[in-house]
Each structure stands twice: as C-alpha cells, then as structure tokens.
C-alpha cells in the first residue's frame, strides 16, 4: 500500500506511531510470517506469540539497559490503574510520599490515599504547575514505603531531566516513577529507581498495554486485598501471562522497539528529541505572538503546551492547522491553549512543518 504523505499528528495520546510500524502491521494483519494467523488470532501461549512477546521484552531491556535484577511486566489498566496497583503492591499499609508536579501526580496522590497514608512532599500547584519542584526542596518523611514522582507531566509539560537520587536526600525508600509520556525518549538511571511504569499509548504503541519495570526485591509485598492479576509477583512468576495479556498491543510495541533500534536506539532518538524541542521552544520564545509558560529548566521535550497571546484567535489557529495537515494541537481542557506532543515517532520534519505554520499564522495575524 502506498500512501500520500500522512498529516503530522501532535496528539498527546493515543499518539502518532512510526509509519513503518503501521505498514508492517498492515502487511502482517492477515498472516503473521507464514503462520496462517493474524497476531490477534493467536493463543498467547502458542509458540508464535511467545516469540513475539519474548522479542519485545528483550528489545526493551536492551533499549533501556534494564539491569538483570529488574523484571519487565506487561500489564493492563494504564497509568491510572497503576496509581492504585502501586500502593496495593508497595505501600505495605504504611506511608507514601508523592511529589506533585502536575495533574498526573496529583491524581496519583489522590488514588494512593485509598490505600496508604499519603503526604505531598512538594507541589508546584501554586504556580499552576509551571515550575519544577527541585529535589532539594522536597520534604520527605522517614520510613515511607516509597516516593512517587511523575517524571514527565503530559498535561502541564513539566519534565525532570535527571531522576533524583533519593539516597543523597537522606531517604532510603524506593523511587516509583510514572514515565508514561517520556519512556524511551531518554535513558533511565536505574540505580535511582525502584519501579517505573508507563502506559503504552504515548511513546510506545497502542492503548491497552502498561509497562511495569520493577526491582525484584520489591516483589511479593502486596496487600491481601490486591487482585491476583495485579500482584506484581504473580504477574512476574507467570511471565506476564497469568491472564491473557494485551497481545496485539505487545506485538505493536515490539515493532516500535525494533524501529527504535533501527534509528540507533535511545541515545540517537534522544538527540533527535533535543533538536525537535529546541526548534519549537526557540521559536515560541522569540515570537512575541506565542508563549510557553513553563520555567525553562522544567520544560518537557515531549509535551509543549503553548498559548496564543490573543486567545480570540484560537479557533482560527486550529482550523488553519488542520488545513496545513497538522492535527490534534488543541490544549488539554484543564490548561487551555495549544499543546504539541512531539514524541519519538514525530520526525524533525513534522516539528519544522509546525514551526513554519506558527510563523505563517503569526505573520498573517500579528
């Protein structure tokens, strides 16, 4: 199948996928590699799908340099389910500290309160989630079961470049990281992490798959009320096949991992992500017509919320974007304005095309 060039899609999630991946999935839809079956039609315990799942797991382990003492789990329920599944598994009925850096970590704190004694260690709510709560300012309690951080706030566009070293802050609890919207966009320092989770639909593949990467000493502590299918130890002991995993989403994720390797891996895609983000922020900051309100040190490379200084032009801006084949730029309803999500699968040419449109629109309306 040959397609005219597809529009550039800036959706925050479910988000754009590499075209090569979609083409391969289309070609294999009816018959995966001569098996006579499409991937959706295979038993998850059959030889074919087991090979697909194992390749996906080992490619992910390579890409993110996941150490041998971490288990990779393919789960379901998305980031929001993990907000409950994490405390069910790791809180041990005790205390949990949460850093609130945007809407998603705010939700994580709310949900964890159902299972644990939760305190907010730091919050940027007062400035509308536009700053980065610096680790040195966090008020961490002694003896907490874990500390929760959202390392990239998808709605507010706030990102931690480096993960905090909790030990250096005098805290020996494991760090739990919600990295849903920037996983695989940069390296992860596993020496600082106890557990990382990510819904797949931002930077990996289809909705329905949730990745959990967990240090093995944290397994086996789930509360008695934790559903068996959400007990990390049960999932790990059954190689993510305690119940039927989201097989097609795992297959697509596996194709994305192969695509990433072909791009040169995480270091290469990170360099591309830096170039894309610099191009866009540099233009926005210099324009006088548009504005990003996040403090420079906290700006996300993946999600770029921005505002037209004259918001009465919002509708015209979005209509014109559609005509220029630039899709899904409307900001989250809680923030307003616009948002460009520029995940791994967005090429530099897509961001260039957006900047060209931004310039053109500003010229015509400035």
- Tell me whether residue 138 or residue 160 sits nearer to ligand PLP (CB atom): 160
- Tell me whether residue 198 or residue 338 sits nearer to ligand PLP (CB atom): 198
Q: Which of 59, 111, 178, 231 binds ligand PLP (CB under 6 A)?
A: 178
Write out the DSSP string of 232-299: HHHHHHTTT-SS---HHHHHHHHHHHHHHHHHTHHHHHHHHHHHHHHHHHHHHHHHSSEE--S-GGGB
Interface of this chain with ligand PLP, residues 221 to 260, rule: CB under 6 A: none
For the bound state, the minimum distance from the C-beta of residue 153 to ligand PLP, rounded and expressed in Å, comes to 6
- Binding of ligand PLP by 350 (CB under 6 A): no
Q: What share of the chain is helix, strand, coil (3-state, %, to 5)?
A: 40, 15, 40
For the bound state, the minimum distance from the C-beta of residue 148 to ligand PLP, rounded and expressed in Å, comes to 11
Task: Write down the catalytic residue from 104, 258, 259, 330.
Answer: 104
Q: What angle, rounded to 10 degrees, do the helices at 103-112 and 78-90 form?
A: 40
Q: Which of 148, 202, 233, 339 binds ligand PLP (CB under 6 A)?
A: 202
Distance CA 280, CA 300 (A): 11
Cα–Cα nearest to 156, from 197, 187, 125: 125
Bond into 14 cis (ω within 30): yes
CB hemisphere CA count around 1 (13 angstroms): 13
Task: Write down the catalytic residue from 138, 178, 233, 259.
Answer: 178
Task: Write down the catalytic residue from 32, 202, 233, 276.
Answer: 202
Q: Which of 101, 145, 180, 203 binds ligand PLP (CB under 6 A)?
A: 180
Tell me the site size for ligand PLP, rule CB under 6 A: 12
Q: Which of 199, 206, 254, 350 binds ligand PLP (CB under 6 A)?
A: 199
| Residue 32 Cα distances to 35, 51, 137, 254, angstroms | 6, 12, 53, 14
Q: Which of 150, 255, 269, 338 binds ligand PLP (CB under 6 A)?
A: 150
For the bound state, the minimum distance from the C-beta of residue 159 to ligand PLP, rounded and expressed in Å, comes to 10
Q: Which of 9, 91, 130, 181 binds ligand PLP (CB under 6 A)?
A: 181
CA 145 to the chain's CA centroid: 24
Strand, helix or coil for residue 61 = helix
Show which residues are catalytic: 104, 178, 202
Residues engaged in binding ligand PLP (CB under 6 A) = 13, 78-80, 104, 150, 154, 178, 180-181, 199, 202
């Amino acid at each position: 199948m040959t397609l005219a060039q597809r529009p550039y899609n800036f959706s925050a999630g479910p988000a754009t996928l590499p075209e090569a991946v979609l083409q391969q999935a289309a070609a294999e839809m009816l018959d995966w590699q001569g098996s006579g079956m499409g991937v959706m039609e295979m038993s998850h315990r059959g030889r074919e799908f087991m090979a697909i799942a194992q390749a996906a797991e080992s490619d992910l382990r390579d890409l993110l340099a996941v150490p041998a003492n971490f288990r990779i789990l393919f789960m379901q329920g998305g980031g929001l389910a993990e907000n409950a599944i994490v405390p069910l598994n790791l809180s041990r009925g005790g205390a949990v500290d949460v850093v609130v850096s945007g809407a998603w970590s705010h939700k994580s704190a709310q949900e964890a309160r159902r299972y644990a004694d939760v305190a907010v260690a730091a919050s940027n709510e007062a400035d509308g989630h536009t700053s980065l709560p610096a680790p040195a300012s966090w008020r961490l309690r002694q003896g907490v079961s874990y500390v929760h951080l959202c390392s990239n706030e998808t709605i507010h566009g706030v990102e931690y470049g480096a993960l905090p070293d909790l030990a250096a802050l005098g805290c020996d609890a494991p760090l739990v990281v919600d990295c849903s919207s920037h996983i695989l966009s940069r390296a992860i320092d596993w020496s600082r992490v106890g557990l990382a989770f990510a819904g797949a639909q931002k930077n990996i593949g289809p909705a329905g798959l949730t990745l959990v990467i967990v240090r093995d000493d944290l397994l086996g502590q789930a509360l008695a009320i934790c559903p068996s299918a959400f007990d990390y130890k049960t999932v790990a002991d059954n190689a993510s096949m305690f119940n039927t995993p989201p097989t097609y989403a795992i297959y697509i994720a596996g194709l994305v991992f192969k695509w990433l390797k072909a791009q040169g891996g995480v270091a290469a895609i990170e360099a591309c992500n830096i170039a894309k983000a610099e191009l866009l922020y540099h233009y926005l900051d210099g324009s006088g017509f548009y504005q990003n309100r996040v403090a420079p040190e906290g700006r996300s490379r993946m999600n770029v919320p921005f505002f037209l200084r004259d918001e009465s032009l919002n509708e015209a801006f979005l209509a014109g974007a559609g005509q220029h084949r630039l899709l899904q730029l409307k900001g989250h309803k809680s923030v307003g304005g616009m948002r460009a999500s520029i995940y791994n699968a967005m090429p530099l040419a897509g961001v260039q095309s957006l900047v060209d449109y931004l310039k053109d629109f500003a010229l015509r309306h400035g």
